[in-house]
Every structure is written in C-alpha cells, then in structure tokens.
C-alpha cells in the first residue's frame, strides 16, 4: 500500500497534549522527531523516510506540541522530552529508537540521558551541542537560523523558498512545492508562529556534563555544507558520547534525511536491526 499523509495520520491524546502523528509499519518502534522552523511537521521532515522504514519498523513521525496539527504551547509550556515520553506511554510503547533532526535531535539527546530506560538507539541529524564554537560561525545566530527566524515573521511562499534553499545543499531540493506546502502549514497555525516568536532565545539546551551518560548505540549524521548548524557540533557529540559513530556527508546541508534519503534509510535500518 502506498503510504500517504492521510492514510497514516491520527491524533493521539497523551496525559497533557493532543499530538498528531503519522504512523505506519510493525516491528521495533522508531520515533521520528522533526526540527524547528515554520511549517515543520513530522511528515514534512520524514515523509519519504517513513515510507521506506515502515517496511521493517513501527514508525511514528510526531508533530511536537507547538508544531503542525498538535496542540499549541507557549515557550514556558514547551517540553518536548516530556511530550515524547507521554506519546510513547499513550501508544503503549516501553522502549523505542529515537531519530531526531536539528531541534528534534537535541530533544532525543536530552531524552537519552534523562530517560535511559525508554530508549534503545539514538540517531541525530544536525543537532546543536553545548560549548563554544571553534570553527563554525561565532556569536549570534547562523546564516540559516537568521532565515528561519525571519520566516516565522513572514511565512510567505517566497520567504519559505529562501528557507528551503538554505536548509539544503542542492538546488534540486529547493522545490517550490515544498516551500508552498510549508507556507500553507505555517499560516494555518498563527498560534504556533506567535508562540515560537515569543520564545526566541529561550530554547532548551543539552547538558554537556550528561552526554557521557548516554549508553545506547548512537549514530550521528551531519552535512558538511550545513549552514544552519555547523558540523563541528556533531564532532563534539561524537567525542562525548561513548558508543557513537559519525557520518559526515559531503554535498549535504541541514536535511540529511531528505538530501541523502536512500543512504540514510539504509544506514538507520541496518543500525537499529544490528
């Protein structure tokens, strides 16, 4: 069966929030956590991956509270680690592999050292990390984060196309249809936009001292050409997490799971199976 957004979509009531998910497949659970950005959803970040991975796993791509079709939250209410735990509880899942892009990767990292009993594998793509930046851009937001923040203020298709272009390395990935869809999704939830803007500068960070506590097998992906989060961050994570390995992809931006989807899907599937 061809998996579509509609055929995999449902709302899950957790202890605190209604969380929208796209869910398919059977087997070991994979919880996919999207990045930030206006119009970001579990499906927009992972739709192509879900279709491939659902052949071997029970795949759940979630819209975290404050994004997509899930409940709105203020910056003070936002707690994506708690949301992930509550979602697994509501789905009756004791343990899962967590796969997180950017903001979702940072959520997965925090989850791994605060709820070690609930995670089997950790996979990240382009997350930030604690500590000073030595080789990438210095103080202040990166080129990509500036464009991302501007798109929250003006989520027009034109601004969203600029965002898609800076998230990717290849011009072929800068599809106007993707920009149009993200613009439409973002503009459909002005509450999400306003809450994010109000919380700029107050994002939760990863605790550097707790990274060595992460005991599960960890697979880190990062694009060599990432203009949103410099690949130095994943080098630091690889040095800090004992059972980790890093895949550094040339000709790749911030969305490794989209730009190198076939390789990404194969490596994640083999990693979790092993």
Q: What is the pLDDT of residues 126-147, one digit of tens each?
A: 999 998 888 877 667 899 999 9
* From 28, 34, 254, 260, active-site residue: 254
- Closest CA relative to residue 229, chosen from 105, 110, 111: 105
Residue 135 in contact with residue 222, Cβ under 8 Å? Answer: no
Query: For residue 177, what pLDDT is reported?
Result: 86
- Residue 274 sits at the vertex; the CA angle it makes with 108 and 122, to the nearest 5 degrees, is 5
Higher pLDDT, 176 or 90: 90
- Closest CA relative to residue 221, chosen from 126, 110, 114: 126
Query: For residue 1, what pLDDT is reported?
Result: 56
3-state helix/strand/coil string of the chain = CCCCHHHHEEEEECCCCEEEEEEECCCCEEEEECCCCCCCCHHHHHHHHHHHHCCCCEEEEECCCCCCCCCCCCCCCCCHHHHHHHHHHHHCCCCEEEEEECHHHHHHHHHHHHCHHHEEEEEEECCCCCCCCCCCCCCCCCHHHHHHHHHHHCCCHHHHHHHHHHHCCCHHHCCHHHHHHHHHHHHCCHHHHHHHHHCCCCCCCCCHHHHHHCCCCEEEEEECCCCCCCCHHHHHHHHHCCCEEEEEECCCCCCHHHHCHHHHHHHHHHHHHC
Lateral strand order in the sheet of 18-24: 9-13, 18-24, 58-62, 29-33, 96-101, 119-125, 218-223, 244-249
Query: For residue 115, what pLDDT is reported?
Result: 98
Lowest average pLDDT, out of 66-70, 78-82, 168-172, goes to: 168-172
Give tens-digit pLDDT for 168-213: 998 888 888 889 999 999 999 999 999 999 988 777 789 999 999 9
In which band, very low, low, confident or very high, does the pLDDT at 274 lie, cut at 50, 70 and 90? Answer: confident
Give tens-digit pLDDT for 5-54: 999 999 999 999 999 999 999 999 999 999 999 999 999 999 999 999 99
For residue 5, give Cα distances in angstroms to 71, 91, 111. Answer: 18, 19, 27
Q: Where are the domains of the chain?
A: 5-136+203-273
**Tokens of residue 255, six digits:** 């969305």
**Tokens of residue 133, six digits:** 């930046």
Query: What percent of the chain has pLDDT above 70?
Result: 99
- Residue 226 sits at the vertex; the CA angle it makes with 221 and 230, to the nearest 5 degrees, is 85
Q: Is 254 a catalytic residue?
A: yes
Residue 239 in contact with residue 245, Cβ under 8 Å? Answer: no
Q: Does 215 score more than 90 pLDDT?
A: yes
CATH topology for the 5-136+203-273 domain: Rossmann fold (3.40.50)
């Amino acid at each position: 069966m061809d998996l579509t957004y509609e055929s995999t979509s449902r709302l899950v009531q957790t202890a605190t929030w209604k969380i929208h998910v796209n869910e398919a497949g059977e087997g070991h659970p994979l919880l996919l956590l999207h990045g930030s950005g206006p119009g970001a959803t579990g499906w927009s970040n992972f739709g192509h991956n879900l279709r491939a991975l659902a052949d071997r796993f029970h795949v759940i791509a979630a819209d975290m509270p404050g994004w997509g079709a899930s409940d709105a939250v203020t910056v003070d209410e936002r707690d994506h680690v708690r949301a992930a735990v509550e979602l697994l509880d509501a789905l009756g899942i004791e343990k899962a592999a967590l796969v997180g892009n950017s903001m979702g990767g940072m959520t997965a990292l925090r989850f791994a050292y605060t709820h070690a009993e609930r995670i089997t594998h950790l996979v990240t793509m382009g997350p930030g990390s604690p500590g000073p930046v030595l080789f990438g851009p210095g103080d202040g937001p990166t080129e990509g984060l500036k464009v991302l923040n501007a798109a929250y203020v003006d989520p027009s298709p034109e601004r969203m196309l600029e965002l898609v272009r800076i998230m990717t390395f290849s011009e072929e990935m800068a599809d106007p249809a993707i920009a149009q869809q993200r613009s439409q999704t973002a503009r459909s939830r002005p509450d999400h936009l306003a809450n994010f803007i109000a919380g700029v500068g107050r994002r939760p960070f990863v605790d550097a001292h707790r990274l060595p506590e992460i005991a599960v097998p960890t697979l880190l992906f990062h694009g060599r050409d990432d203009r949103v989060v410099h690949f130095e961050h994943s080098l630091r994570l690889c040095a800090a997490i004992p059972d980790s390995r890093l895949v550094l992809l040339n000709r790749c931006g911030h969305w490794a799971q989209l730009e190198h989807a076939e390789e990404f899907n194969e490596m994640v599937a083999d990693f979790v199976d092993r």
